[in-house]
A and B are shown apart, each in its own frame.
Chain A
């Protein structure tokens, strides 16, 4: 059971380039989430999805785009990367039902130069 995976694990890119971070889960969980983790800010929600083709903004969505054509995949795209988007990005998934916990992927460390 692979669980939830993210790729790449590490990425260095230049300012202005488009970057896509991948997230894949094998549990068929309805909900998926993208967070960024920055020193002093904890985890902040970027986007979330309640099901395939249903996405919504979180706390810090500017500069990011998501899609969810299949239940198991939830890619996050930085359309034109900026240095302020240097961060560690975590994907998470959850079963339908408020009481269930989120399961987190291993993270992608992104550096924008």
Chain B
């Protein structure tokens, strides 16, 4: 069974500082990996996804994530935080193969990012 762990339920950074949100997965086969963002009172929006051989994935709003198989990680980064980045971020995994999973997403618990002026 797949699982996702997001380290740190809350992360606080200053505007202009590096953003690093951690995600580790547990799966017998490297899965597809996704990062979603949720702004207050809104649904989830896809930031980026890893589905191919390119291990460094660039997404929207200047975010990127690197898939590291040896570390079973898919950490999300942004070089310089902006006030508008304040939101909750979810890492999610989906199996590559079929079977009974039907491509279901398994979500991490979420990390709330706060950006201080």
Contact = CB atoms under 8 A, between A and B. Distances in A.
Interface of A: 31, 33, 40-43, 45, 48, 50, 56, 58, 90, 92, 94, 97-107
Contact of A106 (B32, B42, B110): B42
15 contacts: A31-B103, A33-B105, A42-B90, A42-B109, A43-B107, A45-B104, A90-B43, A97-B103, A98-B95, A98-B96, A98-B103, A99-B51, A99-B96, A101-B34, A104-B45
Contacts of B18: none
B110 A42 contact: yes
Nearest to A94: B103
A41 B34 CA distance: 18
Given A31-B102, A41-B109, A104-B43, 13 more contacts: A33-B105, A42-B108, A48-B102, A48-B104, A58-B104, A92-B44, A97-B103, A98-B97, A98-B103, A99-B32, A100-B103, A101-B49, A105-B43
Contacts of B103: 31, 94, 97-98, 100
The residue among B97, B98, B110 with the most chain A CB atoms within 10 A of its own CB is B110
B114 interface: no
Contacts, number: 53
A56 B102 contact: yes
The residue among B102, B103, B105, B107 with the most chain A CB atoms within 10 A of its own CB is B103
Contacts of A94: 103
